[in-house]
Amino acid sequence: MTNLLHPSRRGLLMAGGAGLLTAALPGHVAAQGAPIKIGFQLHRTGIGAAYGRWYERTAQAALKAINDGGGIAGRPVELLFEDDATDPKRGSEVVDKLTQSDGCDLVMGTLFSHVVMGSAPRAGELKVPYLVCSEGYHVASGALNRWTLQPGITDVRAQISTMAPWVAANLGKKVTMVFPDYAFGHDHRDFFTTAIQAQGGEVIAQIAVPPTETSFTRYFPQIPTETEVLYHVMVGPAVLTFVKELGEFYGTGAKPALFGFIDSLEAVDTATPGLEFLEGSHFWEAHPRVKPADAGEHEAAYRAAVGVDDNGASVSDAADVSTYSHMFSTWETLYFIKQSMEAAGYTGPADRQKLVEAMEAISDLPYGIERPQGAKRFNGKTHQVFGSQNISQVQGGKLVKVHTTTIEEGVYEDAVDYTTMSF
């Protein structure tokens, strides 16, 4: 219902019409009040829609907080959301529209990595900063360009590397992996396999499930019986089916320890009937969904701003579980934009190159309301940010944080130096 009644992007534009007029005037007038326009490439429809909704809510909350605090360099900020249908082709068209038609200063917000891959070339051609919230390794691997950065969320490679030591020490060394047979899953396969070997463990089987699959039971017998740890990660609408079927398969029989990425259960209530077998199993979380006892001082304010309760569900509907371990990235990215724009003395699209250089110069990002997930370290050469990770255990149907890694554990050797590339 909310979607139909939602004010359209065009409506927002008209509301900002007065701002547009001032933007046409010389620079010193703009500094007094012309809004900074940030385009948001949103998965409103398509398979990413469950994430997109929470990305939109979190970004709106951050926008309000920033504007209430005086905006960016004294200028108000506006967000323009445009649906990319979770499709790479439409994604690049959306970058185009936001930049050329709507006159946004930069574009941000993409989650699904194939959309990032499809859109980044266009952002590079338009020479517009493109800040993704995708956790893919695509940025730090060097596959993209000088204009694409990921300042709000740690990439999969770093996340995974920090998990291996804990898994090997606490759960077991013979690991079987179940993952989706596309890039996101392949990152898990490649980096975890290497990381667990470094801990003296080994991956004894890799089961890549085709992304079109809606039923998974038939693949479970391929899990070797000597498996000590079952490492699972799944994304998309079928995640709950996957976890439920895993439960039915093992049932009351002997089963390996389960270690999953929360992606398998993002936007899903851990107390859903049929998930009882997850009791005692562990999950990676970037940002613990259930507020930990030792949560930082800004955690409560962040949850209140976004409208999320202490269990990670919407305050207006307890059944509406958030994508808590991903959505903070949009909040942190907006604050990163604020910081770098103010550092660069950004006044308008002509300063975009200066803005990217200012972003590349950032390194330490301390904990604060700007970064509710935790302190971060930005690597200007690889355009990738690094933060700490968490491991939670399902206890009484709830995720309870049991371990937090350091930032250093996730840092790896640079694969690229974007700062040497031309703009």
By CB under 8 A, the residues from 164 to 183 that bind other proteins are 181-183
Span near other proteins by CB under 8 A; candidates 167-175, 202-210, 341-349, 360-368: 202-210
Q: How far is the CB of 8 from other proteins (least distance, A)?
A: 5
Please tell me whether residue 207 binds other proteins under the rule CB under 8 A: yes
Residue 23 binds other proteins, judged by CB under 8 A: no
**Binding residues for other proteins restricted to 59-118, rule: CB under 8 A:** 81-83, 87-89, 92-93, 96-97, 100-101, 113-114, 117-118
Question: Cα dihedral angle (50, 51, 56, 61), rounded to 10 degrees?
Answer: 110
Residues 6+ apart with CB under 8 A from 194: none
Contact between 309 and other proteins by CB under 8 A: the answer reads no
Task: Return the residue of 140, 144, 175, 341 that touches other proteins, per CB under 8 A.
Answer: 144
The pairing of strands 364-365 and 317-321 is unpaired
- Write the interaction track for other proteins spanning residues 266-285; mark x where CB under 8 A is met and - where it is not: -xx---xxx-----------
Contacting other proteins (CB under 8 A), which of 200, 214, 293, 396? 214
The Cα–Cα gap between 92 and 113 comes to 13
User: C-beta of 345: minimal distance to other proteins in Å?
Assistant: 27
What's 97's DSSP letter? Answer: I
Number of residues that bind other proteins (CB under 8 A): 78
Identify which of residues 88 and 374 has a Cβ nearer to other proteins in the complex. 88
Residue 217 makes contact with other proteins by CB under 8 A: yes
Q: Which position among 142, 199, 250, 354 is part of the footprint of other proteins (CB under 8 A)?
A: 250
Long-range contact set of residues 183-189: C-beta below 8 Å, sequence gap at least 24 = 183/113, 183/114, 183/136, 183/138, 184/113, 184/136, 184/156, 184/233, 184/235, 185/209, 185/233, 187/136, 187/137, 187/156, 187/157, 187/160, 188/156, 188/160, 188/231, 188/233, 188/261
Locate 338 and state its tokens: 């604020």
Q: Find the part of the chain contacting other proteins (CB under 8 A) among 33-41, 66-74, 137-145, 163-171.
A: 137-145
Among the listed ranges 119-127, 151-159, 169-177, 345-353, the one in contact with other proteins (CB under 8 A) is: 119-127
Query: CB of 101 within 8 A of CB of 128?
Result: no
Contact assessment for residue 58 and residue 327, using Cβ atoms and an 8 Å cutoff? yes
